[in-house]
Structure 1
Amino acid sequence: MRVGLFIPCYIDQFYPQVGIATLQLLEKLGCNVHYPQGQTCCGQPMANSGFKHLTGDCNRLFTEHFSTYDYIVAPSGSCVLHIKDHLHVAGNEAAATHIRQRIYELSEFLTDILQVKHLRAKFPHKVGIHQSCHGQRGLHVSQMTELVAPPFSKPRQLLELVDGLELVQLDRADECCGFGGTFCVFEEAVSVKMGKDRVADHVHNGAEYITGNDVSCLMHLEGILRRQKSPVKVLHIAEILNNE
């Protein structure tokens, strides 16, 4: 299968190692991966701030670069959800529909499409999973605790394949970290308090690392951890799954 690798702009600028880990992991699992050089922001920040009408050029550019692939994969639940819900291009809607139906967040691609059952990864540490809201409530990569239904978590399913990794049990497994894109700018105090609560849950339960499938949330938590001079570190799930 031909896979188009979509690397969101904030990963490209601040966490390029996450993009590299995603590429290496997909190649290890047998995917023919391509990275369209002309890709840019998907338009999510503008849409989230009420300026969806300004994302037309982003939509056209994204469609130009990704319409020919069997699948599009990104290490970001929020950006994938934005494309799934909002990618429309006048005059080229067939291509946009193809992309909306074929784009996947990394953990759901590994579990649902590749159906990964074995990994060579090793990570001998205690790890807490941060379930990001877009991934959980939008893409349904894990169960919401308020629903009366059997629990599941695609990130957890993958992390349980990693040799030596111990998952810690959190008190509030699916609470928002407070990042929320531009919310952390407009409601800074609320955002920080929510982030501190999220960090405290992981620290209290003995996590050495916090992982997740959205670098945006992890970036928010990392900033709080650094200000607290905490030894706890954050890693995107791709970095752990790719670690040998």
Structure 2
Amino acid sequence: YTNIVEALLRFSAVTKGKILLHSACLDIDGVGVMLSARTDTGKTGTILRLLREQNASFLSDDMTIVDTDGVARTFPKPLTISQHTLRAVQADDLTPQEWRRLRLQSRLHSKEGRGIGMWLAKSNLPIMAMNALTQRIVPPPKYTAGRLVPCTTTDSVKVRELFIIQRSDPKLEPIDLDDAVAELLANTDDAYGFPPFATFAPTIVMDGMGWAELRAREEQILREALMSGIRVRRLGSDSFDWADRIPELLDGLAEMDGAVIGVAG
């Protein structure tokens, strides 16, 4: 699904003036907050903590529909729980049987497990059949947000704050328009790295636009969305504490050293 159907939906959205961005999105006290990161950084765990601790409303965890006005809309998709995300799930959220199954599932479907899959994909092996068999034997650990933490959901919100989170020394810094566009698209591409998308992508034609034109239009939509008044900042952490720091930044309790991206970029 992810690397065929969803990948096609990504570019189908472009033909309608929207993008499907690899990101999570919440409404925190009326403020649209979006998180982007490379796969398996800690985005899902951060979202679960913000839902639990900040009484936020949930839009999306993995992919978000965004238009040129910077309005985010929910993309219905369950959360995938990786190994490091387990720390954000409380013991009473799941049954003992679910916990035992989740520990195995989260290890197999973690970044390391996908890395093995990517290595196999470079060999002359039927990787799609192998992947289907693996998922049949050990299904991916997928849960709805409401199954893991009591929360409300919302359909749309105007995004005001966008954090690109990363594992690094603690840092908070603004990101200019060009760098933000490049990094957000790179993070989205990272979500579609598993075959067969890379093979058939150059042959895609939608609404009269070929691959290069679709990519250029996607970039333009994202650029316009960011210029609608979204502040983009990089938030580095070496202790997975993004869920502690983000509310402080929204409340003005910590230094806010990024500027809103305006028309001038």
TM-score over 0.5 for the pair: no
Higher strand share: 2
Give the structure-2-normalised TM-score.
0.24
**Structure with the larger RCO, 1 or 2 (CA within 8 Å, 6+ apart):** 2
